[in-house]
Structure 1
């Protein structure tokens, strides 16, 4: 796990090394163990790398890394879990290796297979390969979007980095707010791909590669797609057996490390599954849990049961409202993009680093892959109600003509029903609330439409059921835009690598290919529970509870003054003061969820940090 940066086609820049060095300095937290820089002969390519040493700690694994004749240069962030298998294959083709790192496999894979090299990699990755002779840059990102890769391209200049803040540190990008990014963030509590809050900075889509020459993008292609759902016809018992095999393989691969490794353990099914499978390999683990004074949010009973079952070195960290108040601004400083849901990952990552760990495994993705959210079981029932309402559309339109000021039911019944249901379930600030709190002039500058965005995600996917569509949304919106992004930025702020065995692409491909009845079953995440077979019973039968903090209590009591102050310091160029006051009063009265107020606070903090008090729209 590292930080990468680069600059191609240095037009109007006298010394490309200086902006790349500034980008590297902005990512020291991603790579405290070393750094390196490459400058091409004609100064038309500069690559930078900050290193967090995980596999092969020797200088031989330092980057930028070159091939045998120095015609290729590599910078890479992530882990390639099948690197030993690939190395053996590449050596049979005559490639010579200088290190024992997984990084070196990529550069020889590119030599051997060219643009198809990413298809051979199993892991989490974002990398760039510069071909000096061809003056061409090749960039690629992993299938599920675990590792980020941002870029900016204009007037013959192409810049890329692992983080938005690094791109801004280059000093070559105007700091101008992207209105679509602002609205997209408020809609979902995270910026939808490929948007950011900075005009011109984009996120390379997962499972894509990019080719750049002379500072211009020549080609962007996808090399992998989510499989069509429900294509396999297997029995539940066969499915459980195959999931068991794939899960054990996924966890075993992610235990490869030359530095201390542990597991985030909440006591839920997902983290318990990872801990149990990891412990079954014979490795003695450290497990990390956050506990609270507020009993409704405290899961220590369940995490302790798992830790006892697997005989781990279990570390519990008590987090009080006072502790949170002391450090919450530190966690906000670690946001690379604003997030309404990532602070919990920052605190548990800090606990892991304080415990001496450099790598942790977590259960991220279990609810999305194994249909664990309650919404999956509710979706068909709710959609049937919406379909019945749609039959009333002519009558509702007639009423709308009689009452032109109240047209809310009409747009609700238009368009993709699965997208509308998902937005109702996952949306943060949408529809009327959004229009109330955003200034009309700012809103006119935006083109982002959350329903069009959601509908585009399933436009080329033959979803055979409404649950299929809902699963695609959870995988590509909530998991990718929020959970994975938070895990990367909040973990790396502590120089901590987070690995997610439940979203190994082999496992995801298999589970998604199963019939919907086999995927969902009659028990919560039965495929995962039965595949593991050793999760304590009380952890399986407990009420479902996400890993969340007592924000509802803290924001209304211990942190009320802090939250209110930040909320009302929001930019008046973007927000309507009248609308904010109305939303705050609803929050005080308990008539709106705390996350809506928090989303405004997070966005305000981010804009003030990177743009000052009055960001330019």
Structure 2
């Protein structure tokens, strides 16, 4: 995980001063080791930390220069032997040992479809010397970011927005609609950033830059989830077990062993068990290391005893971190100033603590359990499928088995009826509910403090729905899985967490979020994800014998719920800081985005009564406010007046041209 840049000038060559400025702009994604390449109108650069140059990690900070092309890559490629065999079958030689050389060979073999053949965490830039065009791509998981802009007479591509903005020709005008979307917790827009000139290449997309034109397309889409399979359950569990062992083996560092960010759920523990089995088959006596968050007794997030049972099962060490010793907000003003965008992860500090503990345990690579919820379970929304398709006996049986009998008409409407309602009916329902919206499945509550005129003028709600993966009939359960795998929010948040780990000196890898595992999981029927009171049946069966039976048993109460930590932190530990921040004149209000008094009322209501969704909305608004203050200043000076004038102009223009 490192910083890469590409500059492609229309006339002439790229000045060395601009290349250096853009490369320095990748900031925290390297800087200890750098390499550049220039030829004609193109220039590429790579910046890494010294530890990343070790074998099995990013490798040397160099651009792969070949007769036909040059490549700058931020990549960890997995299943390399399979890729080498495919390249050999295509008759294409590999001219070096790094990920960039493998990508170069893939481009020579398959051209603009090369990303379809790569498996791993990657973002890269290829300069095609003969076609005189740039080709860029990101994997679907999105851990490695890539941004681009047309700056004066050049294209700029880089791992950070800050690096793109370091080009002197790149405009810095804010995209106020995108800022407001971040403040409101709306994250469906794929390509926009909070700067009008700068776009993000979405996860799973490829991009060609030629002349003044940019063309982007999705190179990976998850296959549709199937309702039936001819492969028996037991055989499927064995196949999944083998896939998981292979996925962990592919993500093993070249030396030493990784740490697992271990919870007591079934996802990270499945990674731990299959990883340990892979090490056992290797036969060198090594073990994984666990780092885990310890929650106090009685807290719904506590899984300490379950975690301990897993590490005891394998005789592995565990390093504990006390959750209540980690502040949710640590130097929030400084962190907001350092971010390229307003969005902040609510659990930034726990993730940083896990990465720091990984380093303290002597590892540079960490594994997490990301992917398990998306692939191996589904919510109660499948009950809506049973109602919609007339399987009422099955619906009654499932309703009873899930313990919902006697839960009332409201619960039935929420899970069996509401997910089947089309958007026009959901909108009409607001008229009957005194303006209170009826949300579609997977929609977040919209903050009540957002200014109605700004929301209308910028179409915030509509633009979020337009960019949300569409439901085109069919199974609601299958759509939920598809939504989790294609919504732009997830590559964004995965990239943020990976960047937090990188800043602590750790590369984060996700064995469950493996293309082979994903495609296999989607070939399995829904009842293996959820049936009656049980979830994740296939995953749990696949790791039997690798984890304690007590851990894999069905649970009557949900564990590992971390919302209580966030709730008590915001309402108690950081209440004074939030109160002080919101009491001052709000930049969000001066830009016309929020009603300041309504936001303050929302905060006080949350402080008194709690409420998870309300607390998250307050958090997003707070982070956007701090970010704006860092960018526009803490007083109502010239920068703020200019931004407010731009907001007013945008509102007027939108109103005149709806």
Which bin holds the TM-score, normalised by the shorter protein? 0.7 to 0.9
Q: Distance in 2 between the 1:22 and 1:391 partners?
A: 48
Q: State how 1:90-239 maps to structure 2 within 5 Å.
A: 90=87, 97=94, 99-153=96-150, 156-188=153-185, 190=187, 192-217=189-214, 219-230=215-226, 232-234=228-230, 235-239=232-236
TM-fit CA distance, 1:501: 1.0
Q: Do structure 1's residue 579 and structure 2's residue 578 form an aligned pair?
A: no
TM-fit CA distance, 1:301: 2.0
Q: Distance in 1 between the 2:422 and 2:321 partners?
A: 50
Partner of 1:284: 287
Q: State how 1:15-94 maps to structure 2 within 5 Å.
A: 16-41=15-40, 44-52=41-49, 53=52, 56=55, 61-67=60-66, 69=67, 71-90=68-87
Partner of 1:2: 2
Q: Distance in 1 between the 2:316 and 2:628 partners?
A: 42
Q: State how 1:121-520 maps to structure 2 within 5 Å.
A: 121-153=118-150, 156-188=153-185, 190=187, 192-217=189-214, 219-230=215-226, 232-234=228-230, 235-258=232-255, 261-282=258-279, 283-293=286-296, 295-296=298-299, 297-321=301-325, 326=330, 332=336, 335-337=339-341, 338-343=343-348, 344-371=350-377, 381=412, 382-386=414-418, 408=435, 412=438, 420-423=440-443, 427=444, 430=446, 433-434=447-448, 437-440=449-452, 442-449=454-461, 453=465, 456-458=468-470, 464-477=474-487, 480-520=490-530
SS at match of 1:199: coil
Q: Do structure 1's residue 545 and structure 2's residue 560 form an aligned pair?
A: yes
Q: Do structure 1's residue 558 and structure 2's residue 573 form an aligned pair?
A: yes
Q: Do structure 1's residue 604 and structure 2's residue 625 form an aligned pair?
A: yes
TM-fit CA distance, 1:563: 2.0
TM-fit CA distance, 1:15: 5.3
- CA pair 489-387 structure 1, distance change in 2 beyond 3 A: closer
Q: Distance in 2 between the 1:334 and 1:342 partners?
A: 17
Q: Distance in 2 between the 1:334 and 1:312 partners?
A: 37
| Number of residue pairs matched by the alignment | 588
Q: Distance in 1 between the 2:514 and 2:22 partners?
A: 30
| Structure 1 unmatched ranges of 5 or more | 413-418
Q: Distance in 1 between the 2:2 and 2:222 partners?
A: 27
| Structure 2 unmatched ranges of 5 or more | 280-285, 387-411, 635-639, 648-658
Bigger mean CA offset, 21-30 vs 494-503: 21-30
CA deviation digits over 1:444-479, x for unaligned, max 9?
A: 5413335863675125xx663111122222233386
- Alpha-carbon contact 1:137-1:212 (below 8 Å) kept: yes
- Alpha-carbon contact 2:183-2:623 (below 8 Å) kept: no
- CA pair 347-611 structure 1, distance change in 2 beyond 3 A: farther
CA deviation digits over 1:72-129, x for unaligned, max 9?
A: 1111112110223323443566655554333311111111221121111111111110
- CA pair 215-230 structure 1, distance change in 2 beyond 3 A: same
Q: Distance in 2 between the 1:28 and 1:56 partners?
A: 23
Q: Distance in 1 between the 2:188 and 2:168 partners?
A: 23
Q: CA RMSD in A?
A: 3.4
Q: Distance in 2 between the 1:391 and 1:485 partners?
A: 31
Partner of 2:397: none
Q: Distance in 2 between the 1:270 and 1:224 partners?
A: 24
Bigger mean CA offset, 498-507 vs 249-258: 249-258
Bigger mean CA offset, 111-120 vs 288-297: 288-297
- CA pair 497-215 structure 1, distance change in 2 beyond 3 A: farther
- Alpha-carbon contact 1:336-1:489 (below 8 Å) kept: no
- CA pair 321-256 structure 1, distance change in 2 beyond 3 A: closer
CA deviation digits over 1:375-397, x for unaligned, max 9?
A: 66789752433379889979x78
- CA pair 232-298 structure 1, distance change in 2 beyond 3 A: closer
Q: Distance in 2 between the 1:135 and 1:163 partners?
A: 24
SS at match of 1:138: strand
- CA pair 228-293 structure 1, distance change in 2 beyond 3 A: closer
- Alpha-carbon contact 1:340-1:598 (below 8 Å) kept: no
From 532, 541, 557, the equivalent of 1:530 is: 541
SS at match of 1:196: coil
Q: Which TM-score applies when normalising by structure 1? A: 0.85
CA deviation digits over 1:189-232, x for unaligned, max 9?
A: 64642222222322212222111113431x32322222122165
Bigger mean CA offset, 366-375 vs 268-277: 366-375
Q: Distance in 2 between the 1:224 and 1:607 partners?
A: 35
TM-fit CA distance, 1:374: 6.4
- CA pair 611-351 structure 1, distance change in 2 beyond 3 A: farther
Q: Distance in 1 between the 2:227 and 2:153 partners?
A: 45
CA deviation digits over 1:299-329, x for unaligned, max 9?
A: 3222222122222231112243575565656
Partner of 1:416: none
CA deviation digits over 1:145-178, x for unaligned, max 9?
A: 3322211235543211112232233344333222
Q: Which TM-score applies when normalising by structure 2? A: 0.80
Partner of 1:567: 582
TM-fit CA distance, 1:556: 1.7
- Alpha-carbon contact 2:263-2:560 (below 8 Å) kept: no
